[in-house]
Chains A and B, each alone.
Chain A
């Protein structure tokens, strides 16, 4: 147990003040062509251009329309249950003996993850564009469930593409989607994971684009998706910032979030971009090791390239072919990452690191045993790193973890990974 007295005088953490000179990341991104610095843009077949332009137009109109905001806010409040609590994990904080740990409880949202913040916004846009069908990709199944939910709510038909390997390891979510009337199409090509699901969804969209909207589930894809998904997810960071000011009387010292495509992290970080006293830390899937093919950490080990319609860090070979990646977590098992994260990496506004499979699996117990919370395997990556970072901080400092999703969906897979009976 910690011996540090909570009434000890406040120590100024050198990392949390002005020792970070290269913070030049702007919140005024992307530009009109969808660029976050060099990153982003739009690398898609001409067939999709008109739909993307239409989406830009409709989204810009909706942003300025108080009725749209009011409708979305109402849904987020009464249907999703927002605002999500900022919870002080006192037992865990005491146990680790470092910073005070706060959990931004996106796992308490309806459907159990942050993904619903985005799907409701995009479903509303689907209706405004008078499109009559929705498609989505999913890895962990959380975005698929959130899409199926939004579609059931609005009466839209929904098709979800999901890698066959992910169908296996995230079965509970496959059932949920089907219960809500969505059609889940397993994808057998490539590595049968999230990247292949995105490919299939894009191909569907190539043929159906005139009447179908593709609800992309993260801050990836061609402009305007990275911006639009970030904006819909920014409700996380906005609420969190206010809750910190209310509960702590100040901003937190550090915020940690896991990064798959990067939507929960982008939504959490974006409202804090200009608060340079706040350390922002994104955690990628470190898998089994640093060699290519063993992890899914493009920001940590990859290089800039093109995948799924935008220019960003990606795992690729010398010919520009996308490399295979690995993670125990279906939602992080993706070779690319949103372009704004690449921008934040290069401007050094956000620190990116990665967390191995075994560290993530182990950290599941931290919240389960000490706080009574089952955490999604994706989120466990943030949790494991946050626990390490918290130990290097003092008891009067505050660290927020974006608790992006609940762990029920992973119970069976976790048992399998640990060689236990299910």
Chain B
């Protein structure tokens, strides 16, 4: 049982939903990332997703892409991410999940990567370009090391396939809200609630919705049908000026997160 599994068990018992910010590791440096993670926990976020910058991200929109470019431009190395996350480990209760492109994992070797990530304090990994067909070895290795492999379902995924993906996933199922790349949206697809509801009835795995969520209205609409919400680009955009003023960047991110958390409140019932 990972810290993510425990989190969802706790939330289920109390009828609460998870709120999960996504931030980019090393934007602009790991010391700032460490500070942001502390503040996220203090604000009451249930968990955080840490994006590992990659040179050629296909699923990411301009905001996250630019954050990756800044981090890599500052010569961020994989080991620095692991070192910083590990050194903060004892003060942190909030579980962390890594968002990592397969190119990075392959280069370390699947098992080597899982061991290093787990040792640093991650509880699971999302690999946005590892399809269920290609994920068997990774999935087995994750099970062996009590580490979650969180898989994704999208609006273009046929229903039968979605069930197969849910079966292969652990920790939670990442339900991508839109056909497209990461980035804030004003409107989310009209049938999103129904599609999440359909899978929810057919799996015991917690379901978290991500991509495009940026407003309290989105949170109010989606929280009742899922187990958690992931907010990425909207937060990364708040943090992108950290190079100029860390405090200002943090303050604007905190303000956004507080408003989203407040919208989540009624659903806590």
State the A residues within 8 Å of B (CB): 33, 41-51, 189-190, 195, 199, 202-203, 206-207, 209-210, 305-309, 311, 316, 318-322
Q: Can you list 29 A-B contacts (CB < 8 A)?
A: A41-B134, A42-B133, A42-B134, A43-B129, A43-B134, A44-B131, A45-B128, A45-B129, A46-B151, A46-B156, A47-B179, A49-B157, A50-B156, A190-B69, A195-B56, A203-B61, A206-B58, A206-B59, A206-B181, A207-B179, A207-B181, A209-B179, A306-B102, A308-B58, A309-B58, A309-B129, A311-B106, A320-B108, A321-B72
Does B12 reach chain A (CB closer than 8 Å)?
no
Q: Determine which of A44, A50, A309, A321 lies in contact with B55 in the assembled complex, contact meaning CB atoms within 8 Å.
A: A321
Give the nearest-CB partner of B105 in chain A.
A320
- Is the CB–CB distance between A47 and B59 below 8 Å? yes
B69: chain A residues within 8 A (beta carbon) = 189-190
The 3 closest A-B pairs by CB, nearest first: A320-B107, A207-B180, A306-B103
Give the nearest-CB partner of B61 in chain A.
A203
A45: chain B residues within 8 A (beta carbon) = 58-59, 128-129, 152, 154
Given A45-B128, A49-B156, residue A203 in contact with residue B106 (CB < 8 A): no
Of residues 133 to 177 in B, which have CB atoms within 8 Å of A's CB atoms?
133-134, 151-158, 161, 165, 176
State the B residues within 8 Å of A (CB): 54-61, 65, 69, 72, 77-78, 101-108, 128-134, 151-158, 161, 165, 176, 179-181
- Is the CB–CB distance between B102 and A322 below 8 Å? no
- Is the CB–CB distance between A319 and B181 below 8 Å? no
Query: Which has the most chain A C-beta neighbours within 10 Å: B55, B61, B129, B152?
Result: B55
- Is the CB–CB distance between A47 and B134 below 8 Å? no
- Is the CB–CB distance between B103 and A307 below 8 Å? yes
- Is the CB–CB distance between B154 and A46 below 8 Å? yes
Given A207-B179, A207-B180, A309-B129, residue A321 in contact with residue B104 (CB < 8 A): yes
Q: Determine which of B60, B107, B128 lies in contact with A305 in the assembled complex, contact meaning CB atoms within 8 Å.
A: B107
User: Given A47-B176, A306-B129, 7 more contacts at CB 8 Å?
Assistant: A42-B133, A189-B69, A202-B58, A203-B181, A209-B179, A307-B103, A316-B103
A51: chain B residues within 8 A (beta carbon) = 156
Q: Determine which of A48, A203, A308, A316 lies in contact with B107 in the assembled complex, contact meaning CB atoms within 8 Å.
A: A316
- Is the CB–CB distance between A308 and B106 below 8 Å? no
Minimum Cβ distance to chain B for residue A54 (Å): 10
Minimum Cβ distance to chain B for residue A18 (Å): 37
Docked Cα-Cα span, A48 to B155, in Å, equals 10
Minimum Cβ distance to chain B for residue A200 (Å): 10
Docked Cα-Cα span, A319 to B106, in Å, equals 9
Minimum Cβ distance to chain A for residue B26 (Å): 12
A195: chain B residues within 8 A (beta carbon) = 56
B105: chain A residues within 8 A (beta carbon) = 320
Docked Cα-Cα span, A308 to B56, in Å, equals 8
A47: chain B residues within 8 A (beta carbon) = 59, 154-156, 176, 179-180
- Is the CB–CB distance between B65 and A33 below 8 Å? no
Minimum Cβ distance to chain B for residue A201 (Å): 10
Docked Cα-Cα span, A392 to B25, in Å, equals 54
A321: chain B residues within 8 A (beta carbon) = 54-55, 72, 103-104
A318: chain B residues within 8 A (beta carbon) = 107
Query: Which has the most chain B C-beta neighbours within 10 Å: A42, A311, A319?
Result: A319
Minimum Cβ distance to chain A for residue B155 (Å): 8
Docked Cα-Cα span, A318 to B112, in Å, equals 13
Docked Cα-Cα span, A305 to B78, in Å, equals 16
- Is the CB–CB distance between B157 and A46 below 8 Å? yes
Give the nearest-CB partner of A41 in chain B.
B134
- Is the CB–CB distance between B56 and A44 below 8 Å? no
Docked Cα-Cα span, A47 to B161, in Å, equals 12
A203: chain B residues within 8 A (beta carbon) = 58, 60-61, 181
Give the nearest-CB partner of A322 in chain B.
B55
B102: chain A residues within 8 A (beta carbon) = 43, 306
Give the nearest-CB partner of B104 in chain A.
A320
Minimum Cβ distance to chain A for residue B65 (Å): 7
B152: chain A residues within 8 A (beta carbon) = 45-46
A190: chain B residues within 8 A (beta carbon) = 55-56, 69
Docked Cα-Cα span, A44 to B130, in Å, equals 7
- Is the CB–CB distance between A319 and B104 below 8 Å? yes
- Is the CB–CB distance between A43 and B130 below 8 Å? yes
B77: chain A residues within 8 A (beta carbon) = 319
Give the nearest-CB partner of B134 in chain A.
A41
Docked Cα-Cα span, A49 to B129, in Å, equals 10
- Is the CB–CB distance between A210 and B176 below 8 Å? no
Docked Cα-Cα span, A287 to B132, in Å, equals 39
Docked Cα-Cα span, A195 to B55, in Å, equals 10
- Is the CB–CB distance between A307 and B107 below 8 Å? no
- Is the CB–CB distance between A206 and B179 below 8 Å? yes
A210: chain B residues within 8 A (beta carbon) = 156, 179
- Is the CB–CB distance between A199 and B157 below 8 Å? no
Docked Cα-Cα span, A190 to B56, in Å, equals 9
A46: chain B residues within 8 A (beta carbon) = 131-132, 151-154, 156-157, 165, 176
Q: Determine which of A49, A202, A209, A311 lies in contact with B131 in the assembled complex, contact meaning CB atoms within 8 Å.
A: A49
